[in-house]
């Protein structure tokens, strides 16, 4: 969707620029995160299916030093080192040492025979692409405890006066977030959007693990502040949420719509309940099953909102109560 908006802006004569992508979202979208060093750049013929203006595409071979997300045994990873649009700053240089935040890229989306021929040419089993159109490659300056980075999207609280971050602080943030990854959490409730300004916003992101440990990020974006705690009376809340999930797999709303006002994902042993609320919602004419799922999602949201001590966080309680009452 972002790419579509950018292309429209270019066609209309407007300015084109990257959208803001918070570090939290970069970590969530990544399938592999590591520190590594580029040891080789191999150019392969551009598959005809890509319709690339370049005859050859550079692919960087990275020797992995340490893995923070993904296969911990991997010692080598390859990433697509070419730009895909006007403001994509993706590149690679032999000797470059960086934090890489990677996910399936252009080649992974091609036909199997195209992938296999390209991968065989460089001896790779997978080729990934950085998240954030270049911002997922974070060069490391210096060594040891003094090593620093300039990571776009990182919370301001991690930065110094030069808007740089100590690599150790950044890695601690990533490691802590991965403890509460979307795969590990059985509760994920998110309201609002990350902002690149440190001005206070009411957006928040709540994640809860099966044992009741919780991570609450407030003021999402540059001004993000994170607290970790154990949810009070978690056993009872857990039971109440499980009853609302109801051992079914139900989805309410369209998570691909933008902008989203809220997102909720609940997991139990027997089912899931996911809820995505775009700016314009409820659609009329929902089925009775859909209405019940929506009601359960709003009830679950109310339980979770009441369980966190966050007066500055967005509160939809009154609006949800009216919806549940049919007004």
Kindly report the CATH number assigned to the domain that includes residue 55.
Answer: 2.40.50.120
pLDDT in tens, 85-94: 999 999 999 9
Task: Report the distance separating Cα 265 and Cα 10, nearest Å.
Answer: 35
Q: Is the omega angle on the peptide bond into residue 282 within 30 degrees of 0, that is, cis?
A: yes
On whether residue 219 sits in a domain, the answer given is yes
E strand or H helix at 252, and its extent?
strand 249-252
User: Does residue 113 share a domain with residue 29?
Assistant: yes
pLDDT, tens digit (0-9, with 9 covering 90-100), for 292-321: 999 999 999 999 999 999 999 999 999 889
Please tell me whether residues 313 and 215 are part of one structural domain.
yes
β-pairing verdict for 97-104 and 56-69: unpaired
Which whole number is the average pLDDT over 236-259?
91
Any domain includes 42 = yes
CA distances (Å), 224 to each of 116, 177, 217, in order?
A: 42, 13, 6
How far apart, in whole angstroms, are the C-alpha atoms of residue 136 and residue 142?
Answer: 19
Kindly state whether residue 4 falls inside one of the protein's structural domains: no
Q: Could you tell me if 277 and 264 lie in one domain?
A: yes
**Based on the domain organization, do 170 and 210 belong to the same domain?**
no
Rounded CA separation 127/103 (Å): 9
Same-domain check for residues 99 and 115: yes
Residue 88 lies in a domain: yes
Residue 296 shares a structural domain with residue 212:
yes
Pairing mode, strands 97-104 and 204-208: unpaired
Number of domains making up the chain: 3
What is the mean predicted confidence (pLDDT) over 181-204? 94
Looking from the CA of 317 toward its CB, the CA atoms found within 13 Å total: 9
Output 71 or 323, whichever has higher pLDDT. Answer: 71
Q: What angle do CA 204, 210, 216 make, to 5 degrees?
A: 15
Q: Could you give the CA distance from residue 313 to residue 201 in angstroms, rounded to a whole number? A: 8
Task: Reply yes or no on whether the pLDDT at 16 is more than 70.
Answer: no
**Last residue of one domain, picked from the residues 94, 121, 142:** 142
Instruction: Check whether residue 190 and residue 120 sit in a common domain.
Output: no
8 domain-assigned: no
Please indicate whether residue 8 or residue 299 has the higher confidence score (pLDDT): 299
Where does the pLDDT of residue 280 fall: very low under 50, low under 70, confident under 90, or very high at 90 and above?
low
In terms of phi and psi (left: phi > 0; alpha: psi -120 to 50; beta: otherwise), the region of 96 is beta
Residue 257 is assigned to a structural domain of this protein: yes
Q: Does 316 share its domain with 194?
A: yes
In terms of DSSP bridges, do strands 56-69 and 76-80 run parallel, antiparallel, or are they unpaired? Answer: antiparallel
My answer on whether 164 and 72 are in the same domain is no
- Assess whether 65 and 165 both reside in one domain: no
Q: What's the pLDDT at 295?
A: 92
* Position 10 in a domain: no
Between 73 and 197, whose confidence is greater?
73
- What's the start-to-end Cα distance of the chain, in Å? 33
11 vs 156: CA distance, rounded Å: 34
pLDDT in tens, 200-238: 899 999 999 999 999 999 999 999 999 999 999 999 999
204 and 289 inside one domain: yes
281: domain CATH number is: 3.30.1560
Q: Is residue 1 part of a domain?
A: no
Last residue of a domain, one of 121, 154, 175: 175
Percent of the chain clearing pLDDT 90 (strictly above) = 69
pLDDT(22) > 80: yes
Residues 187 and 313 placed together within one structural domain of the fold: yes
- Only one residue has tokens 């109801």, namely 246
Taking the model in full, what pTM does it have?
A: 0.89
Q: Which domain holds residue 162?
A: 145-175
């Amino acid at each position: 969707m972002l790419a579509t908006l950018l292309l429209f802006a270019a066609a209309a004569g407007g300015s084109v620029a990257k959208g803001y992508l918070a570090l939290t979202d970069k970590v969530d979208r990544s399938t592999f995160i590591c520190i590594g060093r580029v040891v080789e750049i191999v150019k392969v013929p551009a598959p005809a299916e890509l319709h690339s203006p370049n005859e050859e595409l550079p692919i960087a071979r990275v020797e992995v030093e340490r893995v923070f997300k993904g296969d911990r045994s991997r010692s080598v990873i390859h990433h697509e080192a070419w730009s895909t649009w006007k403001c994509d700053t993706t590149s690679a240089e032999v000797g470059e040492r960086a934090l890489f935040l990677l996910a399936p890229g252009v080649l992974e989306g091609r036909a199997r025979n195209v992938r296999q021929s390209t991968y065989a040419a460089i001896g790779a089993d997978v080729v990934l692409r950085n998240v954030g159109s270049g911002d997922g490659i974070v060069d490391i300056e210096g060594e040891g405890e003094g090593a620093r980075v300039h990571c776009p999207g990182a919370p301001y609280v991690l930065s110094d006066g030069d808007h740089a971050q100590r690599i150790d602080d950044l890695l601690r943030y990533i490691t802590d977030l991965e403890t509460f990854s979307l795969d590990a959490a059985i509760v994920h409730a998110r309201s609002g959007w990350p902002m690149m300004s440190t001005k206070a916003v009411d957006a928040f992101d709540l994640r809860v693990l099966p044992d009741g440990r919780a991570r609450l990020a407030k003021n999402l974006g540059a001004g993000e502040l994170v607290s970790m705690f154990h949810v009070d009376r978690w056993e009872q809340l857990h039971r109440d949420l499980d009853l609302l999930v109801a051992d079914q797999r139900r989805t309410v709303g369209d998570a691909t719509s933008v902008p989203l006002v809220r997102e909720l994902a609940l997991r139990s042993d027997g089912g899931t309940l996911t809820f995505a609320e775009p700016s314009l919602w409820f659609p009329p004419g929902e089925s009775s099953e859909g209405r019940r799922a929506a009601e359960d999602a709003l009830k679950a949201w109310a339980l979770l909102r009441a369980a966190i001590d966050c007066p500055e966080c967005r509160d939809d309680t009154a609006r949800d109560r009216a919806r549940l009452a049919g007004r």
